[in-house]
A and B are shown apart, each in its own frame.
Chain A
Amino acid sequence: MSVPLTLLGLLERGPSHGYDLKRDYDAYFGQGRPLRYSQVYATLSRLARDGKAVAGPAEQGAGPERRRYIITDEGVADVEKWLAEPAPPEPDLHSELFAKVVLALMLGKQAGNYLDVQRAAHLQRMRELTEFKRQGSPLDVLLADHALYRLEADLRWIDHTAARLDMIARTVQGQS
């Protein structure tokens, strides 16, 4: 999963401090592996350097200096493009699929369209593997079956998620 694009996606909700972005990232996408602060600020600096976000003025307070980051139009376009394109249909995709659905809903975008595009990519890969099986040796069949069952599991998750998008959207938008 792309940490920079996920942080950029979180930033699209509105200007945020690095601290808030880390908190939300860890809550939604960390899955027991929280980001380090240094990683968050290094990523935000790179996003600012590349024109995807800009750092606001330093805010004085009792603690260390803080800045809000604001996404640029270029950053918004990058998030849009990333959310719309299917991830390569390979095993262990769950974190990226999950992140794209949650972020799309958080940003009020059509997560259903993304799921359809992903479903098409999965089915295309399943077609290729099925043809490979039909032409292949018993060992090829064994290998292809493993990938097919994993992809099928993803597809079931996609179907279940698509059927529950409204409910998930209410949860995600209520929390963000």
Chain B
Amino acid sequence: MTPDRGAAGHGAAGQTRGTPEKLIEAVDLSLSFGSTPALRGASLGVAKGEIVAVMGPSGSGKSTLLHCLAGILVPSSGEVHFNGMRLDRLSDDKRSALRRDRFGFVFQSGQLVPELTAEENVALPLLLSGMRRGPAMTAARTWFPTLGLDGLETRRSGELSGGQAQRVALARGLVAQPEVLFADEPTGALDSMSGELVMNLLVSAVREQGATVVLVTHDARVAAYADREVVVRDGTVGTLTGAKP
């Protein structure tokens, strides 16, 4: 998957947004749910290969920001750039395709499909992208030893511990070698030892793949795995040192 470098330059005068240096960027995003504002002029740029932790109190808008960056939600105003594209201007179908082909996701409680085995869950993004079942399952199985899940390939999610299920979810998020992994409280449902294992595996895998990570967490020990952190407060993004987010 070669990043598209041809369409950069949709940003404000004199600036190039969404360049490979800043693989993904939110500019002045606003979004309300009913009369409740979730984002109020939130801006954030993430460089290619960077792991950025998005911190902030509950209800501050950090998950909403992640959803806008990932094209799950469309902001009511502002711009989202991904690799030179105006992501917020894409149709629903194109955003879905982008999420499927170029983004990976890990959420707090795995959200594995209970009817599928662990290996089928991991293979799911490849199958949805049109890969045949055989190669998809082969690719999925390579993740099991890497994540310490040997022998659990045919278990269903109800037969896995929380930590095991989250590692399966991590494999599913990374199996298609996404350019950006969006992780929303990936260790939020785990004890500290399991959480540490998941974060170590996540960092090792994304470093090896060269993926960019947007990591939403309220946990400083999880944020410490990132290259830097930003803080969302009342729907805006800031840094602790006053530097540009």
Q: Which B197-230 residues sit within 8 Å CB-CB of chain A?
A: 200, 203, 220-221, 223-227, 229
Are B241 and A123 interface neighbours, CB within 8 A? no
Q: A117-B240, A120-B240 are in contact. Are A130 and B220 (CB under 8 A)?
A: no
Chain A residues, CB < 8 A from B225: 127, 130
A97 in contact (CB, < 8 A): no
Chain A residues, CB < 8 A from B241: 116-117, 120
Mark each residue of chain B from 86 to 107: 1 if its CB lies under 8 Å from any CB of chain A, else 0.
0000000000000000000000
Are B240 and A126 interface neighbours, CB within 8 A? no
Chain A residues, CB < 8 A from B231: 116
Q: A117-B241, A130-B225 are in contact. Are A123 and B203 (CB under 8 A)?
A: no
The count of A-to-B residue pairs whose CB atoms sit within 8 angstroms is 37
Are A155 and B220 interface neighbours, CB within 8 A? yes
Interface residues on B, range: 10 to 19
Are B229 and A134 interface neighbours, CB within 8 A? no
Chain A residues, CB < 8 A from B221: 126, 130, 148, 152
Mark each residue of chain B from 176 to 216: 1 if its CB lies under 8 Å from any CB of chain A, else 0.
00000000000000000000000010010000000000000
- Number of residues on chain A facing chain B (CB within 8 A): 17
A119–B239 CA distance with the chains assembled, in angstroms: 10
Question: How far in angstroms is the closest Cβ of chain A from B159?
Answer: 30
Are A126 and B203 interface neighbours, CB within 8 A? no
Question: How far in angstroms is the closest Cβ of chain B from A52?
Answer: 28
Q: A117-B241, A123-B240 are in contact. Are A152 and B226 (CB under 8 A)?
A: no
A152–B223 CA distance with the chains assembled, in angstroms: 11
A61–B245 CA distance with the chains assembled, in angstroms: 59
The 30 sampled A-B contact pairs (Cβ below 8 Å) are: A116-B231, A116-B240, A116-B241, A117-B241, A120-B239, A120-B241, A122-B220, A123-B220, A123-B223, A123-B224, A123-B229, A123-B240, A126-B221, A126-B223, A126-B224, A127-B226, A127-B227, A129-B224, A130-B221, A130-B224, A130-B225, A134-B200, A134-B203, A148-B221, A151-B220, A152-B220, A152-B221, A155-B220, A159-B57, A163-B57
